[in-house]
Amino acid sequence: MITTVQVELGPRSYTIHIAPGAIERTGAILQPLLPGGRVLVISDATVAKLHGKRLLGALQSAGIDAVQETFPAGESSKSLTQADSLWQACAKHRIDRSGAVIGFGGGVSGDLAGYVAACWMRGVAFVQVPTTLLAMVDSAVGGKTGVNSAAGKNLVGAFHQPRAVIIDPDLLRSMDDREYRAGLAEVLKYGIIRDPEFLAWQESKAGALATRDAATVAHAVAVSCRIKAQYVAEDEFEHGARAQLNYGHTFGHALERETRYTTYLHGEAVGIGMRMAADLGARLGVLTEPDLGKRQDELLRRYGLPLVHVAAGSAAGPAADPAAVARVLAGHCSLDKKVRKSRARFVIPVKTGEVVLREVADPALVEAAFLSAIASR
């Protein structure tokens, strides 16, 4: 059975198709949606090796003229240099305005391929076929595309909505365990920010989710996509409500930056960041549900995610002072993308299913929130 979720964006509306084995149906789903020209599938070399033939076969058997280009796996490929190589590939394969690009892979592939599609010939049709949990529940939906630059992560990009998102949860079986668990942080996020029922469901299914029970995972993906689709429909260009999706992210980005993107997977940093955001909510007197933090902690634990940032000293020196680390991390927040008029904005929980955006002027409060989830080694 195929589950569909509609992203309502007027003439740019599209459907998210979710079903075990959906990859085999990609050609049949896309055939009526694409302009009819050649399709370029973009994926990293690992995904191409694992699943590339199946996707190309499914496209070709529906009569779609499809070719594939790969790039080296890893965040460093999300660059203008890599995008330029792919634009050259577009030229080599004669992708014109009747053509299309498919981003096939995790967040890096989707963001990079989407940006390539957004700019090539000033925009060609684009499709997302995500292969990681994080991409299925978050980055493949909503049209954010882009690359990293010397100016920072995710600062260069374009909104370019896909014509369709095709999700085959069976592909998650081959995913690295740590990466899979990191994706569960975003699933938890949706329960906290928007849907108390989904949070309670996760509490009853955490074991099955952590061990990737197929039906449980498919349900979690569908509900997450439904929530993400609501935010995107409400606020496509993130002028307001969509920013709520950044719950835990301002803290998480500071942790990622401070550890030079080498210690945490994005979801892991976001998980710790959600704890810090709940702490900040309590300090500000905004959080009205004392239980929320405990429930969040318990699910993070059951998903096998880290609960604290360990402030490690150098091999030669003593362990770092957590208060000093918190001060440095709070400093990073004023440089985060969500900063307006130099005041950091945080997504703060009010109660399960409700969050607010708050500017926090007092750096001591932010430091204290960081400190609440920092341990010294």
**Residue ranges that bind ligand GLY, judged by CB under 6 A:** 138, 142, 144, 238, 242, 245
Closer CB to ligand GLY, 228 or 275, in the complex? 228
Closer CB to ligand GLY, 70 or 145, in the complex? 145
Closer CB to ligand GLY, 130 or 142, in the complex? 142
Closer CB to ligand GLY, 138 or 367, in the complex? 138
Least Å distance, CB 344 to ligand GLY, is: 17
Least Å distance, CB 37 to ligand GLY, is: 28
3-state secondary structure the chain: CCEEEEECCHHHCEEEEECCCHHHHHHHHHCCCCCCCCEEEEEEHHHHHHHHHHHHHHHHHCCCCEEEEEECCCHHHCCHHHHHHHHHHHHHCCCCCCCEEEEEECHHHHHHHHHHHHHHHHCCEEEEEECCHHHHHHHCCCCEEEEEECCEEEEEEEECCCCEEEECHHHHHHCCHHHHHHHHHHHHHHHHHHCHHHHHHHHHHHHHHHCCCHHHHHHHHHHHHHHHHHHHHHCCCCCCHHHHHHCCHHHHHHHHHHCCCCCCCHHHHHHHHHHHHHHHHHHHCCCCCCHHHHHHHHHHHHCCCCCCEEECCCCCCCCCCHHHHHHHHHHHHCCCCCCECCECEEEEEEECCEEEEEECCCHHHHHHHHHCCEEEC
Least Å distance, CB 363 to ligand GLY, is: 26
Closer CB to ligand GLY, 158 or 320, in the complex? 158
Closer CB to ligand GLY, 87 or 159, in the complex? 159
Least Å distance, CB 267 to ligand GLY, is: 12
Known catalytic residues are 122, 144, 186, 228, 238, 242, 246, 249, 253, 266
Least Å distance, CB 228 to ligand GLY, is: 7
